[in-house]
Structure 1
Amino acid sequence: MKIAVIGGTGLIGSQVVKNLTAAGHEAVPYSLSSGVDVISGQGLEEAVAGADVVVNLTNSPTFDEASLAFFQTSMDNLLTAACKAGVGHVVILSIVGTDLVPELDYYRAKALQENLLAAGPVPYSIVRATQFMEFVDAVLSWTADDDTVRLPATPIQPIASKDVAAAVAQVAAGAPLNGIRNIGGPEIFTLDELGRITLSHKGDNRAVVTDPTAGMFATVKGDVLTDKDARLAPTRYTDWLA
């Protein structure tokens, strides 16, 4: 199959392209650097022309309210181009629990993206993943100073990006789900516990202080970012750290 991977040079996209190519598909990466802009629409029709499947892994440059406009415009443009080209399957990557945290602008934006795809004219699949292991350092940095890292006890189910990419590639190569597939890491931690594990591994002596008001994930109420019934990936967090 010919599979156009929009956002195909990023953390997930580059690995999806590699996996699909190894499986014998013609996977072609597209990005802003190759002249494809999902907001202006420039290069989009050419990118999806002749494709059996389109995987959209583009992401908003911000996590604030502007992300809503990004996903509205990008999905409108993508679906218009895909429909015109006769594409038979569109795949996006989303987040486990994205529809359960309306307090976060970015999660509302991802829920909007899902809804636009589901209501659109092209058969589709949505892969929802739990939080990436690669993003843990960034999360710790949001509420850190020289002595402490403040984190809430939000339940988190970290997954390695390579496992996310493998799942997206598998879905892209299959029949449209016309629904959602949840994937997650094999273990659940509270975020403050994950912070302690991470700092200990790095030999970082800063203390992790449990603070229910600290950082973006403080907004999350309850255990909504994990899914024990998801398809579980093999990579454990301590193995990934090692």
Structure 2
Amino acid sequence: MKIVIIGGTGQIGSKLVDQLTAQGHEAIAAAPSTGVNTLTGEGLADVLAGTEVVVDVTNAPSWEDQAVLDFFTTSTRNQLAAEAEAGVRHHVALSIVGSRKMADSGYMRAKIAQEDLIIDGPTPYTIVHAAQFFEFVPWIAQASTGEDGKVRVSPRLFQPIAVDDVVDYLARVATGEPAGAVEIAGPDKLGIDAAVRAAVPDADVVSDPAAGYFGADVDDESLTAGAGAWLGKRRFADFVAR
């Protein structure tokens, strides 16, 4: 099966290309560095020729509200148009658990816009709403550090998942039938503040219920998966121990 991974040179994409290739598929990494630019459309028609499945794991280079919205909407429109021409049968997109509960965040509004384009588009789809990655937690600490050096993060629950579990699930979805919207998360729920303390032990963490999450107000259900979600097998404590 020919599967094109948009964003296939990044953290998730490169691992997914390797896994699908090892399974015997023709997995193609599509990115500006390989001659495919989803913002301009350059290279899309060529790379999608004969493709059955497209997996979009891209992320915006800027998180400024308008820039991230422009990135996801332009990229997704170009992908879907090229897929319709090429006869692609399945579009898989990686999104975020709780995106529609956090529409006061500019980034989440951009992800919602991306999802709506896919839902209304011509290609049967699977939108994978993934919880935050283990590997992203140190970056949360960095982004939440104030001028006084204190790391102010919310004690609200989230349900982080290992990148390798995300890749395992995406590989399964890419080789299966379109499933609509699905959720995946890690096996453990814990406070964001507790996760930061564990992953970044030198951080001066302040538990702040008003901190929110990247501009969004959150509660204990905003960043956790609902009933029926697929749960990864890797545990956050093991990630921290390594």
Letter in 2 for 1:62: S
For 1:147 and 1:124, the matched residues in 2 are separated by 44
Say whether the 8 Å CA contact 1:154–1:217 is kept in structure 2: no
Letter in 1 for 2:231: L
Residue 228 of structure 1: CA displacement? 4.7
| Change beyond 3 A, Cα 1:116–1:147 | closer
| Change beyond 3 A, Cα 1:30–1:218 | closer
For 1:86 and 1:199, the matched residues in 2 are separated by 47
* 1:32 matched residue in structure 2: 32
Say whether the 8 Å CA contact 1:3–1:26 is kept in structure 2: yes
Residue 221 of structure 1: CA displacement? 2.4
Say whether the 8 Å CA contact 1:68–1:112 is kept in structure 2: yes
List gaps (5 residues or longer) in structure 1.
none
SS at match of 1:219: coil
* 1:212 matched residue in structure 2: 209
For 1:171 and 1:3, the matched residues in 2 are separated by 11
Matches within 5 A, 1:131-146: 131-144=132-145
Residue 211 of structure 1: CA displacement? 1.6
* 1:15 matched residue in structure 2: 15
Equivalent residues, number: 237
Matches within 5 A, 1:1-242: 1-65=1-65, 66-144=67-145, 148-177=150-179, 179-200=180-201, 204=202, 206-214=203-211, 216-217=213-214, 219-222=216-219, 223-229=221-227, 230-241=229-240, 242=242
| Alignment TM-score, normalising by the size of structure 1 | 0.93
For 2:185 and 2:6, the matched residues in 1 are separated by 23
Residue 152 of structure 1: CA displacement? 1.3
1:77-129 deviation per Cα after TM superposition (whole angstroms, max 9, x unaligned): 10110000011111110001101101001111111111101111111111110
For 1:148 and 1:186, the matched residues in 2 are separated by 29
Residue 154 of structure 1: CA displacement? 2.2
For 1:98 and 1:218, the matched residues in 2 are separated by 12
List gaps (5 residues or longer) in structure 2.
none
For 2:59 and 2:214, the matched residues in 1 are separated by 19
For 1:125 and 1:17, the matched residues in 2 are separated by 18
SS at match of 1:60: coil
For 1:152 and 1:57, the matched residues in 2 are separated by 27
Residue 140 of structure 1: CA displacement? 0.3
SS at match of 2:36: coil
For 1:239 and 1:180, the matched residues in 2 are separated by 29
| Change beyond 3 A, Cα 1:186–1:137 | same
SS at match of 2:151: strand
| Alignment TM-score, normalising by the size of structure 2 | 0.93
Say whether the 8 Å CA contact 1:143–1:151 is kept in structure 2: yes
